[in-house]
Amino acid sequence: MKITILGCYAATPRSFTNPTSQVLEIKNNHFLIDCGEGTQVQLRRNKIKFSKIKHIFISHLHGDHFYGLVGLVSTFRLLNRESELHIYGPKGIKEIITLQLKLANSWTNFPLIFHELTSKDPQLIFENSKVSVTTIPLKHRVYTNGFLFREKEGDRKLLIDKAEEYNIDFALFKSLKKGKDVVSEDGELIPNHLVTDDPVPPKSYAFCSDTVFDPEIVPLIKKVTALYHESTFLEDQAELAFPTKHSTAKQAASIARMAEVQKLILGHYSTRYGKIELFRQEASEIFPNIVLADDGMEIVVE
Amino acid sequence: MKITILGCYAATPRSFTNPTSQVLEIKNNHFLIDCGEGTQVQLRRNKIKFSKIKHIFISHLHGDHFYGLVGLVSTFRLLNRESELHIYGPKGIKEIITLQLKLANSWTNFPLIFHELTSKDPQLIFENSKVSVTTIPLKHRVYTNGFLFREKEGDRKLLIDKAEEYNIDFALFKSLKKGKDVVSEDGELIPNHLVTDDPVPPKSYAFCSDTVFDPEIVPLIKKVTALYHESTFLEDQAELAFPTKHSTAKQAASIARMAEVQKLILGHYSTRYGKIELFRQEASEIFPNIVLADDGMEIVVE
C-alpha cells in the first residue's frame, strides 16, 4: 500500500505548495483522492500514468479539493482515453463537470460515470475482489465525506515445500490457498494448517479531510493501518479551527489515539505556519507514530 | 505597455509549461487575458499583485483558456478582496463560475460582475479615460473573441523651457497640454506648437487566440503596435490546423504582414514540437519583427 502525496496544503495553490490530492496504490488499484487545482501537473511530476487512474474520490466541493478535476477529465479526453472513469463525490459534481464540457463542446470519448453522494451515513461506494471503499461522513462547512479503503483478506500462503512433502497434487493448490483441507496422492487427509500460513493481514487507509474535531468517526476508523487526518491549524489557532470546521494537530492526534490506528499522516496545513515540523511536535505529545505529509512524498505502508 | 506571459502553450498544463494567460499592463491598467489552470500560481511566481487585477478577459470556454478562473476568483475571496472584479467572456461563463461558488457555499464578498459576450461583430466592451477594449471575433471550434486594447491619444508634451521663455503663466499649462493656444503674460498670442510637442503616439495590442487563419480580422488589427497571434502548429502539420481551427506560424506571420503590425508575438504552441525556435524560423520568412512568447517572459512594447 503506497500513498503519493500530490498536494497537502490548505486553501489555495501557491508557488511551491499544492492543494489536496493524493494517489492511493492498493492491491493494484490506483485511487485518486481529491483533485485540487494543478493535480494533473503533480501527477506528471510524480510520474503517475494517467491511464492508471480509473476511480476518483472527491471529499467535498471546496475549490482546494476539486478545482483540478475538470482539467484532468479534459486532459484524459485529449489523450484519447477510452476506458471508464468513475467519479465519486457530493451531489452537484456531475452538473459542474458536464456544464463545462458542454459549453466547451468537448464531450468525453470515454464513459464518464458519476456516483453522486448524499448520504449522511457510512456507505459502501466501491468494491472489487481485492478492496472496498466506504464513506466516512465528516463535519465541515459543506457536505463532506472521508473515505475508508480496506483490503479484503487474501489467500492463505501456500508452503510449497510442505505441500510437496505431503505429496499433494498441484491441482489442489488453489483449494489449499482458499483454506480447504485436501487429500494427498497417498490417500491421506491433510489438514490445511500443515501446508499453509495465515494470509498477510489486510491493510486499511482512512482519508479524513476536511473536518472539525469529531470523535464520532472513531468507530468507523478503528485500528486502521494508516489514518490521514487534516491538521489545518496548531492549538495556538484553536479558536479558528472550530468556526472554520477544521482540526488542530493535537485534535488529529487525539482521534488517532482514540481509534488506535497504527500510523497517523498529517496534512492540509495552513500556509500561515512557516515550518510543518511544528505540526509533528504538537501531535507527537498525544500520539507517537506520525508522518508529516508533504507534496511529492511517497508513503509506503507495510 | 508591458505584456507578461504567464502561460503560452496549447491544450494542457504540463510539468514545465502553462496554458494561456497573460497580463497586459497599459496606462496603469492591469488586464488579465485568459486564465488557464494554474494562472494564480503563475501570477504569484511573476510577482503580480492580485489586487491590481480588476478586469479579466476570457477568449473562449476551452479549458486551457479559463480553467484557472474559478480558483482565482475563490482566492480573491479568501484574500478578503473588496473591490469589483469584472469578467468579460462568452455567454455561459457566469453560470459556470456561480454554480461552483454556490455549491461550495462560498459567495464572494466583493462585487463580481460578468459581461457575457454573444455578438459576432466587433464590440466596444470596456472604456476608461486612457484605454478602450474592443472584441475581435475569431473563428474557432466554439464562440471565441480576441481583444484589441487601444490607448487613447494622450496630452501634448509641454516644453517647460520654451513655455518659460515665452513667459506663459503656470495656470495655462493644462490648456497647452490640451493643444490650445494661449496668451503670454506679455499679452502675446502663443501658438501651441511653439511650446509643445506631439503626444506619444498611442499604442495598441491585439490578442488573437485561438483562431483558424482568418484574413477577415486584418482590418480590425490594422497597424497595431503588437499582435499576439496563436501559432499552434508549423506548416508540417497544416492539415491539422484547419480542422482543429488553429493556425500555423506561417499563417500568423501572413496575418501580421497583411495587417502591417509593428511586432508579432507568437504563442499557443503545441507541445509536440521540441523547440519553439522552429516557430520563429518559419514565421520570419514572411514577417521580420517576431517575439517568441514563453512562460514568465515580460515583453515591453515601446
| Residue ranges covered by each domain of chain A | 2-154+200-300, 157-197
Across the interface, whether the CB atoms of B13 and A40 are under 8 A apart is answered: yes
The pLDDT, as a whole number, for residue B277 is: 97
**Whether the predicted pLDDT of B85 surpasses 90:** yes
Judge whether residue B258 has pLDDT over 90.
yes
**Contact indicator for B247, B272 with CB cutoff of 8 Å:** no
pLDDT of residue B267: 98
Measured in angstroms, the CA of A74 and the nearest CA of chain B are apart by 7
| pLDDT at residue A302, rounded to an integer | 86
Q: Which residues of A touch B63 (CB under 8 A)?
A: 70-71, 74, 100, 104, 106
| Cα angle for residues B84, B88, B94 (degrees, 5° grid) | 85
For residue B47, the model assigns a pLDDT of 97
Measured between CA atoms, how close is A46 to chain B, in angstroms? 10
Establish whether B169 is a catalytic residue: no
Q: What pLDDT does A38 receive?
A: 98
| Residue of A34, A64, A121, A186 with catalytic role | A64
Cell of A258: 482514540
Contact B195, B166 (CB under 8 A): yes
Round to whole Å and give the CA distance between B211 and B159: 45
In degrees, to the nearest 5, what angle opens at C-alpha B293 toward C-alphas B289 and B299? 75
Q: Residue A65 has what pLDDT?
A: 98
Euclidean distance between CA atoms A223 and A228, whole angstroms: 13
Q: What pLDDT score was predicted for residue B302?
A: 86
Residue written as cell 490548505? A10
Binding region of A for Zn(2+)? 60, 62, 64-65, 140, 210, 268
| CATH code matching the domain that covers A2-154+200-300, chosen among 3.10.100.10, 3.60.15.10, 2.20.25.90, 3.40.50.800 | 3.60.15.10
Is the CB of B41 inside 8 Å of chain A's CB atoms?
yes
Which triple of cell numbers denotes residue B56? 479579466
Give ∠ CA B285-B290-B295 in degrees, rounded to 5. Answer: 130
Cβ-based contacts of A62 with chain B (< 8 Å)? 104, 106
Q: Does A103 touch chain B (CB under 8 A)?
A: yes
Query: Mean of the pLDDT values across residues B178-193?
Result: 96
> pLDDT averaged over chain B?
97
Average pLDDT of the segment spanning B271-287: 96
Stated length of chain B: 302
Supply B255's cell numbers.
Answer: 496575418
Give the residue-averaged pLDDT of B102-117. Answer: 95
Asked whether residue B115 is marked as a ligand-binding residue, the answer is no
Closest C-alpha among B30, B42, B20 to residue B210: B20
| Binary contact (B61, A95; C-beta < 8 A) | no
pLDDT at position A274, please?
Answer: 86
Are the CB atoms for A241 and A248 separated by under 8 Å? yes
pLDDT at site B262: 98
Torsion of CA A123, A9, A26, A204, to 10 degrees: -50
pLDDT band at B274 (very low <50, low <70, confident <90, very high): confident
Note whether A105 contacts B38, CB cutoff 8 Å: no
Alpha carbons B8 and B209: distance in angstroms, whole number: 10
Listed as ranges, residues in chain A with pLDDT below 50 are: none
Distance CA A34, CA A23 (A): 9
H or E element that contains A206: strand A204-208
Q: Cis omega before residue A210 (within 30°)?
A: yes
